[in-house]
């Protein structure tokens, strides 16, 4: 209950009676004796405002009642971390995040969402750099994801000048995917590694990087084993383009997931899942397109999908289910 002061009046024994009324018409009577009056003067009520401690907090403390989060809500340094429109769950999360505050040495306290915002802003600047300096590199990359023939043309005409842009966009994917996984884990109350938020970020980023590297090594091994090195490299080129596009989408939607009220988060998370499903379908269609263009055996096609697509998905789904159950 967030009570509201209705009346403060003095009685004959120089005591002040302050009445509060809440949403349920409850009334709290607080008697203030002379020792809380300013300088012993019975006509003045102390109004102390010291680093987020005001008259309401003072009245509660003198009456022996617990101060209901006033040290947080009135503190300007903390109030910027609270969301303006929030339900009880979102409010609890915002207040809990105060425990993760750190001091950066300049007297400014930062909470977790502040660090996330700084990282997302940095990633946005990197995307802008690629957009400006890439000579339509970003537009070509996005177009190649939806046009398999265009992707084949770009692969054959690769220019090493854009190697830096290639690495920047992959870096954006790995970092944004780590933030995305942490955000989704917290939304579903899934704690895998540690209660330390920053440990979770680095752990998820490392796992994503490991999975991507292992997948690429397997594709290269298959290409060498079946003497299909060029085809495997072209497939990896397409996979990298999908990852670059997903990294950009991650950054855009993370601004919505992290900084919107709790009741809107599910919408953004649903959009993320839908986009990743589309990306998976496009990659599967690209594999089928490559097999048809190069007239590979149907046996190889079935073997590939079973070994590198279906089985890994089943294993990852099983792991997620077990983690959620525990």
Task: Write 238-243 long-range contacts (CB < 8 A, 24+).
Answer: 238/144, 238/145, 238/148, 238/151, 238/155, 238/283, 238/286, 239/215, 239/283, 240/166, 240/170, 241/141, 241/144, 241/145, 241/151, 242/145, 242/279, 242/282, 242/283, 243/169, 243/170, 243/173, 243/212
- The residues spanned by each domain of the chain are 4-79, 110-325
pLDDT in tens, 203-257: 889 989 998 898 888 888 877 877 778 888 888 899 999 999 999 999 999 998 8
**What's the mean pLDDT in 71-96?**
46
- Classify residue 254 as exposed, middle or buried by CB count within 10 Å of its CB (0-12, 13-18, 19+): buried
Contact yes or no for 81/97 (Cβ under 8 A): yes
pTM of the entire structure? 0.62
Check pLDDT > 70 for residue 155: yes
pLDDT band at 135 (very low <50, low <70, confident <90, very high): confident
Give pLDDT, residue 120. Answer: 93
Dist. CA 156–CA 237, nearest whole Å? 10
């Amino acid at each position: 209950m967030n009570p509201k002061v209705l009346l403060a009046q003095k009685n004959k024994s120089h005591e002040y009676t302050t009445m509060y009324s809440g949403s349920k018409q409850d009334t709290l009577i607080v008697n203030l004796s002379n020792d809380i009056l300013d300088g012993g003067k019975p006509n003045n009520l102390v109004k102390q405002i010291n680093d987020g401690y005001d008259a309401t907090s003072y009245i509660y403390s003198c009456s022996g009642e617990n101060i209901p989060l006033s040290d947080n809500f009135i503190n300007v340094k903390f109030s910027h971390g609270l969301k303006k429109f929030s339900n009880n769950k979102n409010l609890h999360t915002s207040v809990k995040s105060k425990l993760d505050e750190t001091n950066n040495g300049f007297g400014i306290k930062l909470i977790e969402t502040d660090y996330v915002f700084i990282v997302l802003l940095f990633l946005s600047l990197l995307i802008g750099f690629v957009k400006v300096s890439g000579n339509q590199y970003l537009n070509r990359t996005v177009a190649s994801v939806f046009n398999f023939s265009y992707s084949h043309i770009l692969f054959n005409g690769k220019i090493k000048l854009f190697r830096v842009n290639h690495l920047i966009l992959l870096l954006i994917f790995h970092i944004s995917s780590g933030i995305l996984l942490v955000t989704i884990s917290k939304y579903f109350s899934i704690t895998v590694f540690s209660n330390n938020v920053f440990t979770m970020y680095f752990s998820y980023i490392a796992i994503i990087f490991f999975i991507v590297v292992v997948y690429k090594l397997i594709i290269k091994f298959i290409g060498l084993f079946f003497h299909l090195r060029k085809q495997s490299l072209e497939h990896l080129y397409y996979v990298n383009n999908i990852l670059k596009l997903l990294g950009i989408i991650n950054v855009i939607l993370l601004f919505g997931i992290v900084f919107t009220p709790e009741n809107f988060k599910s919408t953004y998370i649903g959009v993320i899942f839908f986009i990743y499903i589309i990306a998976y379908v496009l990659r599967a269609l690209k594999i089928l397109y490559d097999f048809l263009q190069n007239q590979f055996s149907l046996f190889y096609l079935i073997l590939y999908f079973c070994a590198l697509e279906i089985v890994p998905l089943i294993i990852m789904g099983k792991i997620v289910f077990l983690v959620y159950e525990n």
